[in-house]
Amino acid sequence: MRAASNLLAFFGLAVTLLLVWRRSWPGRLRLFVLQSAVLALLAATVGWLAGKPALLVVAGVFLALKAWIIPRVLHRMAAGTPVRPVAPGRSSGLALLTAGGLVVAAYVIILPVTASATLPTAGAIPLAFAMALIGLFMCVTGRDVLGHVLGFLVFENGIFALALLATYGLPGLVEAGVFLDVLVIVLLMEGVVVQIRREHDSISVDHLSELRE
């Protein structure tokens, strides 16, 4: 159990770092699908080894939502945008370095939690928290609407992993509500993106700066 959860969480974090590094949108979308699949596998593994059949259901819903439905919506949202954002001279080095720093920060911040955790999956809690922090970072520094949404979803995935590793998942009612919320957020975002593209002929957030003091 300890080894399996550590390995899968580590793999999930590695994919998250790759997400920070990749620039091409289709590549990032594929990495997001991979990350979601890894986390679904993590949920299924924890559910199987800990004898919690409910987690298998959660893993199935998570897989369907985050690795299939939402990526399809994202794909639709991105239709017609250039594969690479046109921003010469911007490399991923600094972003990757920051993400590395966030991993260290995650270990420090979450210390009180790991110190009092007794579940066999506790060792991987900082890895999940690091995923969440990196997702937050991606969301805040995103240059266009797609970057924001993808960062938010990675953030959400990290929190899912955190809840899974720290507590074997939240009560079913809450989990279901969270899945519904995420789906509605993404669908609303799609509606907003359609309108932004109609108004501005681009989805860069540089256009969204009329409301200033």
Partner 1 sequence: MSLIALLLAPLLAAGLLVPARRGLARGVHAAALAATLAAAVAVAHGVVVDTTVVALDGLLRADALSAWMVGLIALVATLAGLETFSEPAGRRFHALFHLFVFTMLLAVTTDDLGLMWVAVEGTTLASVFLVNYHRTRASLEAAYKYLLICSVGIALAFVGTVLVYFADVQQFGAEAHALRWTTLLRWAPQLPPRVVELAFVFLLVGYGTKAGLAPMHTWLPDAHSEAPASISALMSGVLLAVGIYAVLRFKAVVDLAAGPGFARRLLILLGLASMTVAAAFLWSPTSLKRMLAYSSVEHLGLVALGLGFGGPWGIAGAILHIANHALAKATLFLLSGRIRDVYGTVDIALVRGVIMAMPVTGRAFALGMLALLGLPPFGLFISELMILGAGFKEGWPAATVLALGLLLVAFGGMLRALHGISYGAPAAWAGRELVTWGGVTPVAAALGLLVLTGLAWPPGLVAALARIAAVVGG
> Where on the chain is the footprint of partner 1 (CB under 8 A)?
109-110, 112-113, 115-118, 132, 136, 139-140, 145, 148, 152, 155-156, 159, 162-163, 166-168, 170-171, 173-174, 177-178, 180-181, 184-185, 188-189, 192, 195-196, 199, 208-211, 213
CB of 16 to partner 1, least distance (A): 16
CB of 55 to partner 1, least distance (A): 12
- Residue showing tokens 């509605």: 184
Q: Which is nearer to partner 1, 38 or 139 (CB)?
A: 139
CB of 177 to partner 1, least distance (A): 3
Tell me the β-bridge partners of 144. 204
CB of 178 to partner 1, least distance (A): 7
Provide the CB-side half-sphere exposure for 1 (13 A, CA). Answer: 14
Closest CA to 77 of 37, 116, 26, 135: 26
Task: Provide the 3-class DSSP secondary structure of residue 53.
Answer: helix
CB of 117 to partner 1, least distance (A): 7
Cα distances (Å, whole numbers) of residue 13 to 38, 76, 84: 10, 26, 23
Q: Which is nearer to partner 1, 93 or 124 (CB)?
A: 124
Give the integer Cα–Cα distance in Å for 138 and 48.
32
Q: Which is nearer to partner 1, 96 or 113 (CB)?
A: 113
Determine contact, residues 46/168, Cβ cutoff 8 Å. Answer: yes
> 42 φ, ψ to 5°?
-60, -45
Q: Which is nearer to partner 1, 63 or 132 (CB)?
A: 132
Q: Which is nearer to partner 1, 96 or 117 (CB)?
A: 117
